[in-house]
Amino acid sequence: MQAISRIPVCAGCLAQPEPLSAEFFCAACRTPFVNPFPLDAEGRCALCRGGLRGFDAAYCFGSYEGVLRELIHLYKYGRVKTLARPLAGLLARALPRDECFDAVTPVPLHWRRLWSRGFNQSELLARALARGSGIPMVRALRRTRSTASQAGLGGSARRKNVAAAFRVRRLGGLARKLAGRRILLIDDVLTTGATATACANALKGAGTARVAVLTVARVDRRTSGVRTSAPDSTSGGPSR
């Protein structure tokens, strides 16, 4: 009997993505490096040393290339929402076992982008991860303004572009409930970390104790140079 699936991707392709591997990582943001020279004695990269990361840690499953990149594109731009579950499975595999979180929250879309796309891919991932892990999901953030595409922007320009673009939602004393909590921020792809930093700054401003970022993939500059064409979940165009 032939199995029927709601996912238009064969089991072989779904099983192809492999975890990101590198000999050298930043101890904080987990950015992979070819050699240890960008890292200080504590294993931190220049951005983490300079306090330019709003989040405390970043984790991902794989590199944003090959089959994994195609699956993310099919999910987000092809609107194949049924891929949320297998992609969330990759998130679960990347979730560190030695960390505990009080809630997961997705990177929000601006309402115009949400209306155009029809769904927030990060929220579907967060919901699926929450169901599988037992960690409650909360829609903690809202996007206060639409921003220009990040394509072609350098790191500092990207950070400026999304600065103060996110706020904690003012519903049911949510800010008060977040105080002292450990939050896991969910997104599909991490590029420079500018969007994740802006979200983390908003959460930290509400008093959260720790913010870690978890994504399905991240742009690996060891192989892609300074690629700026990765999709941005918050703008729909090139990434953060």
Is-contact 240 190, C-beta < 8 A? Answer: yes
H/E stretch holding 210 reads: strand 210-218
Q: Please state the pTM of the whole predicted model.
A: 0.86
| Lowest pLDDT segment from 104-108, 173-177, 184-188 | 173-177
Task: List, for residues 79-101, the tens digit of each pLDDT value.
Answer: 999 999 999 999 999 998 899 99
Q: What does the pLDDT read at residue 150?
A: 52
| DSSP β-ladder status, 141-143 and 166-168 | antiparallel
CB atoms within 10 A of CB 76: 23
Q: What does the pLDDT read at residue 199?
A: 95
**Residues 6 or more apart whose Cβ sits within 8 Å of residue 167:** 141, 142, 144, 202
Task: List, for residues 50-81, the tens digit of each pLDDT value.
Answer: 887 889 999 999 999 999 999 999 999 999 99
CATH number of 54-224: 3.40.50.2020
Angle CA 230–183–48, to nearest 5: 60
H/E stretch holding 200 reads: helix 194-205
**Torsion angle defined by CA atoms of residues 106, 26, 223 and 36, in that order, rounded to the nearest 10 degrees:** 180
Q: What does the pLDDT read at residue 234?
A: 43
